[in-house]
Structure 1
Amino acid sequence: MSTHPRTSDGTADHDRPARPANAVPGLNALLVPTTELYLDLHRHPELSGAERRTAARFADWLEADGFRVVRDIGGHGVAAELHNGDGPAVLLRAELDALPVAEDTGVPYASSATAPGPDGRPVPVMHACGHDAHLACAAAAARWLAARRDHWRGTLLVVGQPAEETLSGARALLEDGLYERITPPDEVLAQHTAPFPAGMVAHADGPVMAGSVTLEVLFEGDGGHVATPHLTANPLLAAAGAVVRLPAVAAHASDPAERVVVAASSLRTGNTGHTGNVIATSAVLHVTVRAFSEAALDRVASAVEHMVREEAATDPLSPRVTVTVLSRSGITLPDPDLTAAVRAAHRAHFGAARVTGWPGASATEDFPLLTGSGAHLHGKPRIRGAYWMLGATSPAQWRAAPGTGADEKLAALPANHSPRFLPSVRLTLETGTAALVTAALARLGPPTARTVECPQTDIG
């Protein structure tokens, strides 16, 4: 039996990185309620568009700290602001929603929640992407800053965004007047958990995440008997042929130097309940394209549409084809000057060894809408944004991962959206809270103190 006290995720105190020299009391006292909030959110996840309880917990927390809170924006979105004299308006953004994933972590606080799925049947729900940690860190950072208004000047904004996983929440917030209902931000800051060592943060010199286009392809026929397939169009056959051809589309429609992903995410037919003697009247195929430039997204999405129509036309009795864009997200490309300033703030606080680079991931986000598409609503060409990655893997998880080098271990660790994705509670919350606070302090006033270097702070 170990004599070292352990956190709820099994991390021993001696595994934790040393506190920076500039730490003073403040974060330790905040960590207890922050952890309680995180564990509560983790146990009670809610799907995109159904985040009523999660939003209420977040809004109540911010309201208790003196923020003016606006609820139910774009669904269950939460926005809060705290004025503290003249100065810039800086927004901290986190997400509310979880995923239809059955948790398989084995921790005592694992989710057993279910929610109605698309067909009305219950599906398991889990915070498999770390949004519960993002919310808890944002809540803690907001509380720390609200209690220390002598450290900054300006307007602090905090947003809990609904429906990020469906890439619809940011647009819903903006269409529901987010930037008319709170002070329009000058800058937006956000972070995201990832399976690299907890206690670290990572910044990209270019895109942090890819842009995406998700297509829904509907193949329709008149149905028929499987004994006479020559008498009717077969939507399933056309859809299956399209799936097989997707890798060739990615290869032929993109430059070898481009990072492009084309993948089928689901295929279903309209003959649910039949036992195999009916040719379905329809088949629905979902295809996602990921790329790091808008031009590549447009080109490859167009190639996918051309291919599915061509595939359907190969049958003498061709099914009808309808292609719909279900969602589109831009490339998460932070402002380079703001990124440099936040990176410098993180290095000043954490030390250079805990601040690393990020190569860009083919995952996608609707964060760019909050800094781009929404900016015209208040007469600005663009809102500057900074976005960094937050390590979430505990030292114990890292040691247990197979492989001898970092690349092998990173490939073996459960990634976001996995049923076994499990952030290190204490390290993730401590580091994520400190990362948000130091970034916010570097960007808030007094205006004469706004430089690319981080002021000394009293958080660990």
Structure 2
Amino acid sequence: MMKTLLPALSLVLASHGALAYQLDTEVARALPELKALYLHLHQNPELSYQETQTAKRLASELKQLGFEVTEQIGGHGVVALLRNGEGPTVMIRADTDGLPIVEQTGKPYASKVRVKDASNNEVGVMHGCGHDIHMTSFIGTAQQLANNRDQWQGTLMMVAQPAEEVGAGAKAMLKEGLFSRFAKPDHVLGLHVSASLPAGQVAIAPGYALANVDSVDIIVRGKGGHGAYPHTTVDPVVLASRIVLAAQTITSREISPLKPSVITVGSIHGGSKHNIISNEVKLQLTLRSYDPAVREQQIAALERMTKGIAQSAGLPPELAPIVYVHEEESIPSTYNTPELAVRVEKSIRAELGDEQVVKAEPVMAGEDFGLYGRTPENIPATIFWLGGVEPDAYRQAQFSGEPLPSLHSSKFAPDYPLTIKTGVRAMTASALDLFKTAPAL
């Protein structure tokens, strides 16, 4: 367990520069225990909806630091509050679930976990998206703020969120009254490891940072028969092929080129034998965008196109394709409140130095962090990227042009000591500055 007390700052420091130096020293002192926590989390990953032991460990760490801790919120979510006088409420969120990946990094501390997934298949489990880094930075930040309460006033709200990888955790925690049962934040902060940025650096993108993501199934129906008599059938394989090609024109011909849109057909399954024309083909798609209006346009166009293609082949309306959007897995785009993003960037620059902070470009990946800024309370929220690539490996990749292992890769292995140290410093400095503002009325 993390030690509950570290030597507090002996003086109330007059300048941010002095604070930056002291914070660096304090985080360096805590780093051995943080590295041990990281290795434990890395070697014991748990899948979405199964984060039992992970949640217990995080709850225990926060209790040791003096937080009021509530478990089992929205599944295996943990909410911890530290009240420290009058002032704003700052929420810091970390995600906790791992991925069904067999780790192939070759590291001595690699995960060897094998479990049964929801379909009863045995799978490997790995923190291939950096959630172990997120959780360790989260605890390190909680430690710094708990042990140096003379540096801030307000309420610190730490939220350990499950089921991010399936787009369900934030929804579940909000549904259970995260902002009504516990506290309404004035600011919401998060970080995410980057597999394309060197450790020691941070990147932030004001405005849209991550995308709307929708999983869509299309069931294409037809009239099956013998491959020798195609004129007696309506071939769903041919219809599915037409739909795949037609879907590409939604982005290229129906949506403004100034509005980002991606439609990916990730899976196509149909038929059973060479000479049999089947009755059905199943397509699985991912839709990505930033603008909610573009998302609606993508879905409406798919529904229109699929029905039109089926009708053109002579199918009756009752055999029109079925377009099913997995709303429970849909993730809205993450919009970094510009004013908050600028403030956070300024805080991190003061802590790490200008050369260690870069502007991030928006990406089309999804993250359910964005939901915390889309409630009726309209709370300012910002997530920033935390470089995770070992600096020498990053420089070598830049020189050779060889791609680095990406997030969700079985070979993704962050430079965890430097990444954690940077994450704790960046998040703590950001929170300390936000505590200097007046709370919202």
Q: Which SS does the other structure have where 1:46 is aligned?
A: coil
Map of 2:382 onto structure 1:
386
Map 1:102-251 to 2 at 5 A: 102-194=102-194, 195-220=196-221, 230-251=231-252
The AA in structure 2 aligned to 1:162 is P
Map 1:308-347 to 2 at 5 A: 308-317=306-315, 319-326=319-326, 327-347=329-349
User: Deviation at 1:265?
Assistant: 2.4
- How far, CA to CA, are the matches of 1:436 and 1:21 in structure 2? 15
Q: Which SS does the other structure have where 1:127 is aligned?
A: coil
Contact 2:199–2:415, Cα closer than 8 Å, also in 1: yes
Map of 2:426 onto structure 1:
435
The AA in structure 1 aligned to 2:296 is D
The AA in structure 2 aligned to 1:284 is K
Q: Which SS does the other structure have where 1:48 is aligned?
A: coil
Map of 1:264 onto structure 2:
265
Q: Which SS does the other structure have where 2:399 is aligned?
A: coil
The AA in structure 2 aligned to 1:198 is A
Structure 1, gaps ≥5 residues long: 1-18, 451-460
- How far, CA to CA, are the matches of 1:419 and 1:236 in structure 2? 33
Contact 2:213–2:286, Cα closer than 8 Å, also in 1: yes
Q: Which SS does the other structure have where 1:267 is aligned?
A: strand
Match of 1:421 among 412, 419, 430: 412
User: Deviation at 1:292?
Assistant: 2.2
Contact 1:249–1:300, Cα closer than 8 Å, also in 2: yes
- How far, CA to CA, are the matches of 1:257 and 1:431 in structure 2? 35
Map 1:43-122 to 2 at 5 A: 43-122=43-122
- Please provide the CA RMSD for this pair: 2.5
Structure 2, gaps ≥5 residues long: 1-18
Q: Which SS does the other structure have where 2:421 is aligned?
A: helix
Map of 2:33 onto structure 1:
33
* 1:317–1:116 Cα change, 3 Å: farther
Map of 1:351 onto structure 2:
353
Contact 2:94–2:134, Cα closer than 8 Å, also in 1: yes
Q: Which SS does the other structure have where 1:361 is aligned?
A: coil
Contact 1:153–1:446, Cα closer than 8 Å, also in 2: no
The AA in structure 1 aligned to 2:366 is T
- How far, CA to CA, are the matches of 1:35 and 1:223 in structure 2? 59
User: Deviation at 1:276?
Assistant: 5.4
* 1:104–1:143 Cα change, 3 Å: same
Map of 2:287 onto structure 1:
289
Q: Which SS does the other structure have where 2:336 is aligned?
A: coil
* 1:168–1:234 Cα change, 3 Å: farther
The TM-score normalised by the length of structure 1 is 0.84
The AA in structure 1 aligned to 2:239 is A
Contact 2:206–2:337, Cα closer than 8 Å, also in 1: no
- How far, CA to CA, are the matches of 2:237 and 2:58 in structure 1? 45
The TM-score normalised by the length of structure 2 is 0.87
Q: Which SS does the other structure have where 1:388 is aligned?
A: strand
Identity of aligned residues (%): 35
Map of 1:5 onto structure 2:
none
- How far, CA to CA, are the matches of 2:275 and 2:54 in structure 1? 46
The AA in structure 1 aligned to 2:63 is E
Q: Does 1:395 align with 2:386?
A: no
User: Deviation at 1:351?
Assistant: 0.8
Contact 2:189–2:383, Cα closer than 8 Å, also in 1: yes
* 1:286–1:94 Cα change, 3 Å: same
User: Deviation at 1:247?
Assistant: 2.3
User: Deviation at 1:136?
Assistant: 0.9
- How far, CA to CA, are the matches of 2:226 and 2:120 in structure 1? 29
Post-superposition Cα deviations, 1:212-241, rounded to whole Å, max 9, x if no partner, equal 232222234576555655555544443343
User: Deviation at 1:246?
Assistant: 2.9
The AA in structure 1 aligned to 2:361 is P
- How far, CA to CA, are the matches of 1:36 and 1:101 in structure 2? 22
* 1:143–1:276 Cα change, 3 Å: farther
User: Deviation at 1:431?
Assistant: 0.4
